[in-house]
Amino acid sequence: MDRIAQAFAKARTENRACLIAYLCAGDPDFETSLEISRELIRAGIDLLEFGVPFSDPLADGPTNQQAAQRALEAGMTPARVFELAARLRGETAIPIVFYTYYNLVFANGVDRAIQATAEAGVDGVLTLDLPPEESDDVVTACRRHGVAPIFLVAPTTAEERLPLIRERAGGFVYYVSRLGITGERSDLAEGLEEAVAMIRRHIDLPVAVGFGISGPEQAAAVAAVADGVIVGSALVNRVKRHLGNPKAMLEDLGGFTRDLRAAMPRKD
């Protein structure tokens, strides 16, 4: 069983959802990003999603755009992202997923990019702007190198497209709980339970929900219906809040992550 499958299986045996943390790789710099990742792992995340810094992050709101800009200004490149992932892989068995854009995968050759991803110990790749209908090259490379090709499902995704996504997807399905860009929200999107049920009628992979989850109460509500809870902007905002004070940053991130993890067990 691969690491992603193991993480979701372990959570199921513990009657809870997986806690998936999003960080922009290299934000605010390489070494601090490494320490943040270690702190979140100590605090109990089940899977780490690394955003690959990109100059035109169309799906990301201001919080994650600014994180990408900080990382780029600190010297992060795709090669350094692979190095960061490889450093962590040498220390932990936690699954690592790249959250990226097709231009970054395509620029130096799709197969080469996916091979480098696998060699860095990364378990999956989510290419945000790649529709499944146009994903042959990425899916083929992922299958060749043992990397899970992860796809998004949005509130606007027609039900008849889900079998195609199932044919191509691996690891888990990322359900975007609301339209628009990433960012913290004060409430959950409506129709979440129905949407997850619809996905499960067609796709037998775990369903993780993201976009807008800002705290333990929302995480608990999502954990009641989904297999995984993805928290990103709420973590990245805490990085920004403590720029220049790494000790406070790690304490805040660790405490917040432990609060999220404590909210994950299901009531049934």
Catalytic residue among 27, 60, 184, 227: 60
- CB < 8 Å & 24+ apart, contacts of 68-72: 68/24, 68/27, 70/24, 70/27, 70/28, 70/29, 71/24, 71/25, 71/26, 71/27, 71/28, 71/29, 71/33, 72/26
Q: Among the options 27, 49, 123, 252, which is catalytic?
A: 49
Q: Report the distance separating Cα 64 and Cα 44, nearest Å.
A: 22
Contact 167, 133 (CB under 8 A): no
Q: Is 60 a catalytic residue?
A: yes
> Which residues are catalytically annotated?
49, 60
